[in-house]
Amino acid sequence: MSVRPNMTRRRVNRRAFLRGAAGVSVALPFLESLPERSAWAAGAEPIFSLFIMAAGGVVPADFFPTTPGPLTSDFLAASGTAGAALASHAENLLFVRNVNWPAQPTGEPHAEGPCMALTALPPTGSSSTAHASGPSADVVIASHVHPDLDPLTLYAGNLRNGYIAERLSFTAEGTTRAAVDNPYPLYQELVGLAGAGGDAMARALIESRNSIHDLVREDLTALMNNSRLGSDDRKRLQLHFDSIRDAEVTMGELCSSTGLDVTALDALSDFSFTTDGMIEKIVELHMSLVALAFACNHRRTATLQWGDGTDGTKYPVPANEALGMWRFNWISHRAQSDGQVGMDPTAEQAHREIDVVRMQTLSRGLDHFAARELADRSFVLWTNHYAEGPSHSFRNVPHLIWGNGGGYLKQGEIVDAGSVVNGQVLSTLISAAIQDTGTVVDDFGTGVGQLDAIRA
Amino acid sequence: MTAGASGLGGSSGTGGIAATGGSGGALGGGTVGDTHGGEGGEGGAEPVPTTSSVSLVGAPIYTRVQRLTNAQWENAVTDILRFEAPANLSRDFVAPVAGATEFTNNEKLLFVDERFALDYEAASEVAAARATGSLEALAALYDGTDATGFVQAFGRRAFRRPLSADEVAKFEGAFALGEMLYGAGFANGAAVVIRAMLVSPHFLYRTELGAAGEPLNGYEIASKLSFWLLGTTPSDALLDTAAAGDLEAVDGVEAVARQMLEDPRALPVMRDFHGQVHHLALIPSITKPGVPEYTPELAAELGEASTLFFDRVFTEGGGLRDILTSNQGFVGPELATLYGVTAPASGLELRELGSSRKGWLMQAPFSMLWSVGEQPHPIQRGVAVHTNVLCADLPPPTLDTPSLPPPMADDLTNRERITALTEGCGGDCHGRFIDPLGFAFESLDGMGRERTTDNGRPIDTTGSYPFAEGTKAFGSAEELMQILADSPQAHTCYAKKVTGYGLQRDMVEGDRPLLEALAVVSSEQSLKDTIIALVKDPAFRLREEGKP
């Protein structure tokens, strides 16, 4: 006879550990000062969600393959599109075409688009001060899974001097939530460097735990070697033995500082944003920290705005050097102007090259999620604040989704949503993110129902 | 005295006296009882049993490494660290899956996976910090400051036996590590020793490592008795008793068990036992929309009235017979009104409920639990008796079970509409085993109020049931309750539950002689006596013979 059939090794989430001590934060070694975060429901795996919105549109014809069907690494690598940079993630990607914002541009699309990307509601106002008409998806998710904690609201760009800066995460009233542009504070919060003596205590805790684990392993081995034990008992002790190793992996790898670019993060203690392409490194650092925060169940949801509404980054790509280093918004406009659009072919080529750079950055960011084994426990949505530059169109805005959201979402496919408003996409994603609560959302924003095309 | 000489039945072939005339007798030696062939000779159909019997079709592991339950872990930590009250450190431990086994303390549900490994570690760190965090706590923990003495004294409490010399040396090393990492001082060394011991398999598992068929050693018996009957680790005094060899003889085991059964800590254990047998955890989930008499105040009384009833059965030396025949019950103001008895000034008090209220199954919580609104649910009530009181198997319902017709449809009584429904689905099991038991309670509506008519017509509570010992007819629920109280099958069932809970494993056919012997004790004596009979039996005191 066998031991209980479901007595199998199961990867657990840090939440178990963080909450495991009756409300006292024991945390993992390097997270010694992490406050207790309550989001774990026994028996239900938490799902994590990151919503990324980039600025400035893409070059649609060369951005990503659009013919519906399977998405494989080889196919994507050979596609000749910017998406080829994501080839190593193809099996975890879902590309969704034909998704529209719920309203047409009426005044300032650089502000209107971001207000709709995660709210699925037409914005209030049409100037540069346009704001959202309701809560964004991240806020809704947070209200379900950790109502006492705000979502992480992150920003990569010229936040302090941008013409249209943060415009992605909104409270229930539609008030814009302030974003954090420097990754350093989150880094500090996660690794507990802010607490005096925290490092020494963490090292002592690590060392004592390791020694105790060795003692336990020794005792378990001795018990397993007892010839009177039957096979079921040996299996059960082996499970215990293996679980200690799994716990060490969880503590030591998935939810640890391993993989963080500590040098780059430390350098941000004296943060000063520059428009020379630094934005890409900031995006990657933000994503690395969000992946860590998710692996440790520090937060369940986050947003990352990738560029200002009229982004001024001077991307160092060959075609832009030929242009004399235009601001990205001008490249997007195909004209050397924030107020006019044109058809400059070199600018279009520069935009094409920038798309590649940004997909390379996204790929490196997703590497952090993959390394922390988040593909089955999260999703990352990447979209844009409009479809492409010259038209500022709010139709067929590209949507890339990484991760299956706890088995809720398709992966490895290109799908055509069928010209739906993004409310259907967001209803589906929110439902995936809060599935452990048993709640289903099918009317987010102006959306009606979920989008079956992206559901597993 | 030899190991098996005092045994009642001797499970699993250990020998002993089959007090009721041997297995296969009146209680039915088979797992499903006698059967008759399928109607019309349709080949392949499952034979339908014609008589009921106590089902013993489990699949035990007979583990030698029994992980502590969450409650046992919490109590043990409280006791060995000398906390004044439980620190509730186990509150977020994963609860065992309910329903997969008869009881949630079953050996098959207790193992250490990654989640538990993490939780145990986290909890050990908090416990150690608490136990060494103040001078008062340290003084309660150990009255010295030497590492060796602490390791030996605390180790004996944690591992429930003396430590070997190698173990002492190993944990002295842990003490030294604590002082090296956290600074010199007894508290720092002791904290790491506590952390290490609380995650050790010697603390987390209650072990039985002797040869098969041989008696457990005194320390193993001490742990087995204490964790079952008190829900916690053995006291220092009990370990002293074990060290003196007083638990190796059956008299010593009996004496300790009798003491434990009078200890207040036994009460929550028995409360949990009866709660699981009768699914009392479901009571708070009772809802009766559209029934204005079902007030929040009444709902609040139901659970406590049930708990107090079973508590009293245990503490007052009662047993299954009292559960099935007592005319007394606990009432608060709301239940007093429902029963028509004097309300207590405050809280809940014991009252005579009248001769027409016989046993727990005729009290309001049972009636309300197994009903829909104001209407009794005879199928649910019948199933509850068939499975919880008689331990008989129940095949799963057919997939195409039709819906219940609405109450009062076509001037039918509740009994008539249920009969029509179950006849329509080929109701061999319903008609023979379930419905008659349920119909007996038609004198109690869905609120537990007595009634004589249903839908304007007289109720019919007559029926019969094919007990293992023979078919018995009854005219009312009161008569059924008396039949159950006298039924060897019911007492064998109760013995099965006591034994399954106490040994923390499934019961199998090889256990039947033991259970039948315990059933005689249950029928004539108390729950406490039944437990004493079990702990004296080889099934409890010996390592299961022939098992790995």
Q: Do the chains contact at A240 and B117, CB–CB below 8 Å?
A: yes
User: Which residue among B87, B114, B192 places its CB closest to the CB of A208?
Assistant: B192
Dist CA A444 CA B7 (whole Å): 69
Helix (H) / strand (E) element for A154: namely strand A152-156
Gyration radius of chain B over CA positions? 26
Distance of CA A17 to the CA centre of its chain: 23
Decide if B436 contacts B413 (C-beta within 8 A).
Answer: no
Q: Do the chains contact at A16 and B118, CB–CB below 8 Å?
A: yes
The residue ranking higher by pLDDT, B399 or B246, is B246
- Indicate the pLDDT class of residue B394, thresholds 50, 70 and 90: confident
pLDDT at A144: 94
Best of B121, B172, B197, B202 to disrupt the A interface (most A CBs within 10 Å) is B121
Q: Do the chains contact at A26 and B125, CB–CB below 8 Å?
A: yes
- pLDDT for B393 beyond 80: yes
Dist CA A174 CA B435 (whole Å): 59
Considering only CB atoms, which chain A residues are within 8 Å of B63? 232-233, 236
Dist CA B154 CA B20 (whole Å): 47
Best of A2, A201, A210, A228 to disrupt the B interface (most B CBs within 10 Å) is A228
Considering only CB atoms, which chain B residues are within 8 Å of A9? 113-114
Q: Do the chains contact at A232 and B61, CB–CB below 8 Å?
A: yes
Considering only CB atoms, which chain B residues are within 8 Å of A229? 64-65, 548
Residue whose structure tokens are 């169109």: A393
Q: How many CB atoms lie within 10 A of CB B424?
A: 10
User: Which residue among B92, B95, B212 places its CB closest to the CB of A20?
Assistant: B92
- Distances, alpha carbon B350 to alpha carbons A63, B271, B317, B336, in Å: 79, 18, 16, 10
Q: How far is B163 from chain A, CA to nearest CA, in Å?
A: 13
pLDDT at A325: 95
pLDDT at A22: 31
Backbone angles phi, psi at B351, to 5 degrees: -140, 150
pLDDT at B14: 30
The residue ranking higher by pLDDT, B23 or B511, is B511
Residue B61, chain A, CB below 8 Å: the answer is yes
Give domain status of residue B128, yes or no: yes
**Residue A140: CA atoms inside 13 Å, Cβ hemisphere, count?**
27
SS3 state at B256: helix
Which residue of A lies nearest to B196 if distances are taken between CA atoms?
A: A212
Give domain status of residue B97, yes or no: yes
Give domain status of residue B95, yes or no: yes
Residue B169, chain A, CB below 8 Å: the answer is no
Cβ pairs A/B, distance under 8 A: 153
Rounded to a whole number, what is the distance in angstroms from the first to the last CA of chain B?
Answer: 26
pLDDT at B11: 36
Q: How far is B494 from chain A, CA to nearest CA, in Å?
A: 25
User: Which residue among A8, A22, A233 places its CB closest to the CB of B126?
Assistant: A22
Q: Do the chains contact at A22 and B65, CB–CB below 8 Å?
A: no
Q: Which two tokens stand for residue A143?
A: 């209200």
Give domain status of residue B241, yes or no: no
One-letter amino acid for residue A35 of the chain: P
Considering only CB atoms, which chain B residues are within 8 Å of A216? 196, 199-201
Q: How far is A266 from chain B, CA to nearest CA, in Å?
A: 27
Q: How far is A257 from chain B, CA to nearest CA, in Å?
A: 19
pLDDT at A215: 95
Decide if A423 contacts A101 (C-beta within 8 A).
Answer: no
Q: Do the chains contact at B123 and A1, CB–CB below 8 Å?
A: no
pLDDT at B509: 95
3-state SS, B343-377, equals CCCCCCEEEECCCCCCCHHHCHHHHHHCEECCEEC
- Indicate the pLDDT class of residue B545, thresholds 50, 70 and 90: low
pLDDT at B420: 82
Closest CA to A362 of A423, A283, A271: A283
Backbone angles phi, psi at A41, to 5 degrees: -110, 125
Q: Do the chains contact at B92 and A216, CB–CB below 8 Å?
A: no
Helix (H) / strand (E) element for B337: namely helix B333-339
Give domain status of residue B137, yes or no: yes
Dist CA B349 CA B336 (whole Å): 10
Burial of B346 (0-12, 13-18, 19+ CB in 10 A): exposed
Question: Which neighbouring-strand residues pair with A148?
Answer: none
Q: How far is B216 from chain A, CA to nearest CA, in Å?
A: 14
Closest CA to A331 of A57, A94, A24: A57
Which residue of A lies nearest to B194 if distances are taken between CA atoms?
A: A212
Closest CA to B467 of B54, B183, B92, B73: B54
Q: Cβ neighbours of residue B296 under 8 Å, at least 6 residues apart?
A: none
DSSP A102: S
Best of A32, A236, A251 to disrupt the B interface (most B CBs within 10 Å) is A236
In B480-529, where do the E strands start and end?
none
Residue whose structure tokens are 């004589």: B452
Closest CA to A27 of B452, B353, B346, B118: B118
Q: Cβ neighbours of residue B158 under 8 Å, at least 6 residues apart?
A: B80, B197, B198, B200, B202, B203
Residue B118, chain A, CB below 8 Å: the answer is yes
Closest CA to A285 of A380, A365, A382: A365
Give domain status of residue B379, yes or no: no
Q: How far is A204 from chain B, CA to nearest CA, in Å?
A: 5
Decide if B137 contacts B143 (C-beta within 8 A).
Answer: no
Dist CA B462 CA B443 (whole Å): 11
pLDDT at A218: 95
Q: Cβ neighbours of residue B292 under 8 Å, at least 6 residues apart?
A: none
Q: Do the chains contact at A10 and B117, CB–CB below 8 Å?
A: no
Q: How far is A89 from chain B, CA to nearest CA, in Å?
A: 29
One-letter amino acid for residue B273 of the chain: F
The residue ranges of chain A whose pLDDT is under 50 are: 1-43, 193-198
Residue B119, chain A, CB below 8 Å: the answer is yes
Which residue of A lies nearest to B90 if distances are taken between CA atoms?
A: A22
Residue B91, chain A, CB below 8 Å: the answer is yes
Closest CA to A93 of A380, A304, A330, A307: A380
pLDDT at B453: 93
Q: How far is B166 from chain A, CA to nearest CA, in Å?
A: 12
Mean pLDDT of B229-258: 97
- pLDDT for B412 beyond 90: no
Dist CA A225 CA A221 (whole Å): 6
Helix (H) / strand (E) element for B48: namely strand B48-49
DSSP A91: G
User: Which residue among B63, B88, B114 places its CB closest to the CB of A11?
Assistant: B114
DSSP A391: T
Q: Do the chains contact at B548 and A228, CB–CB below 8 Å?
A: yes
Mean pLDDT of B39-52: 55
pLDDT at B107: 94
Gyration radius of chain A over CA positions? 23
Percent of chain B's residues with pLDDT above 90: 74
Residue whose structure tokens are 């031991």: A3
The pTM of this model reads: 0.69
Q: Cβ neighbours of residue A41 under 8 Å, at least 6 residues apart?
A: A436, A437
Considering only CB atoms, which chain B residues are within 8 Å of A17? 118-119, 121-122
pLDDT at A6: 38
Which residue of A lies nearest to B545 if distances are taken between CA atoms?
A: A228
Give domain status of residue B238, yes or no: no
Considering only CB atoms, which chain B residues are within 8 Å of A36? none
pLDDT at A219: 96
pLDDT at B75: 98
Residue B62, chain A, CB below 8 Å: the answer is yes
Q: How far is B289 from chain A, CA to nearest CA, in Å?
A: 24
Mean pLDDT of B306-331: 97
User: Which residue among A17, A20, A243 places its CB closest to the CB of B113?
Assistant: A243
Question: Can you give the residue range of the structural domain that contains B184?
Answer: 65-207
Considering only CB atoms, which chain B residues are within 8 Å of A228? 64, 209-212, 548
Give domain status of residue B81, yes or no: yes
Dihedral sign for Cα B160, B162, B164, B166, please.
positive
SS3 state at A56: coil
Residue B202, chain A, CB below 8 Å: the answer is yes
User: Which residue among B170, B201, B548 places its CB closest to the CB of A223?
Assistant: B201
Best of B114, B172, B200, B544 to disrupt the A interface (most A CBs within 10 Å) is B114
Decide if B70 contacts B93 (C-beta within 8 A).
Answer: yes
Considering only CB atoms, which chain B residues are within 8 Å of A8? 113
Q: Do the chains contact at B115 and A10, CB–CB below 8 Å?
A: yes
pLDDT at A173: 83
The number of folded domains in chain B is 1
Model pLDDT for residues A250-298, shown as the tens digit of each residue: 666 677 777 889 899 989 988 999 999 999 999 999 999 999 888 877 7
Dist CA A138 CA A146 (whole Å): 11
Q: How far is A26 from chain B, CA to nearest CA, in Å?
A: 6
ipTM given for this complex: 0.86
Q: Do the chains contact at A21 and B123, CB–CB below 8 Å?
A: yes
Question: What one-character-per-residue DSSP string does B86-103 give?
Answer: ---TTTTSPPPPSSSSSS
Dist CA B439 CA B419 (whole Å): 10
Region class of B119: left (phi > 0), else alpha (psi between -120 and 50), else beta: alpha
